[in-house]
Amino acid sequence: MTQDWPPPPVAPVLGRIDAYLDHWAALRGDDEFLIDGGPVLTGRRMSWHQARREVDGVAAALAAAGLQRGDRVSYLADSRLDFFVHFLAASSIGLVWQGLSPKHTWNELSYVVGDFRPRVVFDARLGDATSDDLVARLVAGTPNVERGVVVDSPDWVDLLSNGEVLGPEVLDRRRSEVEPMDPAFIVYTSGTTGRPKGALLTHRGVCYCGVSGVTARGGPDLRIICNLPVNHIGAISDICCRKMVGGGSIVFQERFDAGLMLATIAAERVAMWGGVPTMFQMCADHPDFDTTDLSSIRQIQWGGAPMPAPVLNRLLERVNAERCVTGYGMTETTGGVTAMPPDATADQIVTTVGRPIPGHEIRIADDGREVAVGQSGEVQVRGDWTMAGYWNRPEATARVIDAEGWLSTGDLGLMRPDGHLQLVGRLSEMFKTGGYNAYPREIEMCLEDHPAVRMAAVVAVPDAMFDEVGHAFVVADADTDPEDLRDHCRERLANYKVPKAVHLRTALPMLAIGKVDKKALGSEAVDLAGR
C-alpha cells in the first residue's frame, strides 16, 4: 500500500448526517451545493446556507406534525434535490426515512410500504401527483399509516406554516436526542432471491462510509450527477451523502438518459462522472458522445458491476481523467468497503474492486473460516458501519451477521497477493455443470475480452446431462459469429465453462438501477433451450 493512500480524512466523522450542512456552510456557505438539472425539474440551485434553511423548514414541519423520534416516514419522488432535503430533514430529528420510486409497480410499492408501515407517506412526484389515487390507496391499504401528503399541495403548505411557529430550540432539542447508532433510513434489497428485506442503516454508518469513502476515492469537492432512484443505496449514501461529506455539489436528474447525461456534463461542468457500467456503455454508444464537451471530467467512478475493458477504453479515448475509481459495497454495508488506489494498474482497475478501505474489516471465508490469500470463498465484512439489521426480520439478520459481527455478503471473491479484492461471482449465480463449479463473471470477462464484444451476461439453464449449463447473452458487432465467441472461450477456459449457447443482442434488459436483469435473461434462456 502506498504511503499517500488514503490521505488524511477530508472531514470528521460526525454523529448525525445532516450535521455536515453546518460543517461546510461555515467553510463555503455561499457555494452551490444542490442543483436540479433535469428537463422536467425546477432548475433550482441551492447554496450550503440555503440548503440548511430548507432542511430546517421541513424538519420543523415534520416536528409540528407530531412525528417523534423513531417514527417512520415514506417519500415517493423522482431524483431531485427535494428528496435529499426531505431525507436530511427527517433523519435530523430522529425519524426513519424511506424512499419510494415512482418507477415501481403497485405490487412493489404496496409491499415495501406495507412492510415498513410508516406513519405518513409523502408524494413528491413530478407533475400532478393528485391525478391518481396512488398514495390514497397506499394509506387505505396499509395498517398504521395515518395520512398521505402531496408535496406542494395546500396540505403541505399548511404543514410548513405550522412548522414556522416552532422556535429553533425545539429543533436543537430534537437533534440533540439523536444517537449515532439510531437508524437514519431504510433501503429494501432488490429481492432477486425472495421478497425484499429492509436494511436499517444508521447515522454512524452513513457518516463513517461517507468520510472513509470520499477520502479513499478522492475528488471530495468535485461536482457529480445523481440520477439513480431515491430508494437505492447508491443515490442516498454513495452519491448524495458522500458528496455532502466531502463538500462537493450534486446535479440531480429525474432519470438516467444517455443524451441528457452527456449534455448536463457539458452544461454544468461536471467533474466526477459516476454510474454503473451499463450507463457508460449507453453514453459511449450515443450519437452525441464524440462531439460533447467532456473536458470538465476529472474522475470516472463506477460500481454495482465490473466495467468491461472495451467500455473503459472507449471512455478514456475521449476523457482526460486523472483517476479511474471503482469499489465494492452493498446495501447492507451502507456504502463502499473497498476503493481503487491512485497507483492502480490497468489490470487491477479492470479485474478487481480495489483494496479494503482502512477501518473496514474484510475477509474471505469458507464455512466460517478465513482462507489463504489467492483462495476463493465468500466475502465477509465487519464494522459498526454495517446495517443495524433487517427490519422486523431477526432470523434473516442472524443468518447474515454472525455472533462475531461478520456480515456474509453472498459474494464470492479472493484476496490477491497485491492486496486487491477480486470478485468471482454471486453464490446465488454460481452453477454446477458436470460436477464442477462455474462462475458467470469469469465467463463474462472472457467474452468481454473479445474485440467484437461490448457487454456479456451469463445465466444458468437446467440440462439433463450436465445438471446446468451456461447461456451467454452478448452485445457485439453486427457481423459477429456466435461460434467464434465460443472458440474464443475454448482457448481460454476449461471446457465445462464454455457457454453452451451464445445469443447475440443489440442490448440487454436492464433493471431500474442500470444493472443487467439476469432474472429476465434466465427466463429467456430457458425458453430458448426448450425450443
Q: How many domains are contained in the chain? A: 2
Q: Is residue 435 part of a domain?
A: yes
If asked whether residues 464 and 503 sit together in one domain, one would say yes
Percent of the chain past pLDDT 90, that is, above it, reads: 73
69 pLDDT more than 80: yes
402 and 455 co-located in one domain: no
How far apart CA 112 and CA 490 sit, in angstroms, is 45
Asked if 422 and 397 sit in the same domain, the reply is: yes
Report whether pLDDT(334) > 80: yes
- Burial of residue 140 (number of CB atoms within 10 Å: 0-12, 13-18, 19+): exposed
The pLDDT assigned to 2 comes to: 41
- Name residue 198's beta-bridge partners: 188
**412 domain-assigned:** yes
Using CA atoms, how far residue 242 sits from 255, 265, 376, in Å, is 20, 19, 31
**pLDDT, tens only, 513-529:** 778 899 899 999 999 98
Residue 493 near residue 461, CB atoms below 8 Å: no
- Together in a domain, 399 and 464: no
Query: Are residues 387 and 367 both part of a single domain?
Result: yes
Q: Are 446 and 509 within one domain?
A: yes
Q: Does some domain include residue 83?
A: no
Confidence of residue 43 (pLDDT cuts 50, 70, 90): confident
User: Which position has the grid cell 452527456?
Assistant: 262
Do 418 and 485 lie in a common domain? no
In a domain, 382, yes or no: yes
Which residues, including other chains, have CB under 8 Å from residue 380's CB and lie 6 or more apart? 362, 363, 364, 365, 406, 407, 408, 409
* C-alpha closest to that of 178 among 74, 76, 59: 59
The pLDDT of residue 3 is above 50: no
451 and 513 within one domain:
yes
- Which pLDDT tens digit goes with each residue over 116-175? 999 999 999 977 666 678 888 899 988 889 999 999 899 999 999 999 999 899 999 999
- How confident is the model over 443-471, as pLDDT tens digits? 998 999 999 999 999 999 998 888 889 99
Q: Look at strands 96-100 and 338-339 and give their pairing.
A: unpaired
What's residue 1's pLDDT? 37
* Candidate from 287-296, 307-316, 470-479 with smallest mean pLDDT: 307-316
In a domain, 419, yes or no: yes
Q: Is residue 496 part of a domain?
A: yes
Q: What is the pLDDT of residue 511?
A: 81
Least confident stretch, 189-198, 304-313, 389-398: 189-198
The domain containing residue 408 runs over which residues? 361-426
Q: What value does the mean pLDDT of the chain take?
A: 91
Domain shared by 379 and 451, yes or no: no
Residue 383 shares a structural domain with residue 455: no
Average pLDDT over residues 292-305: 93
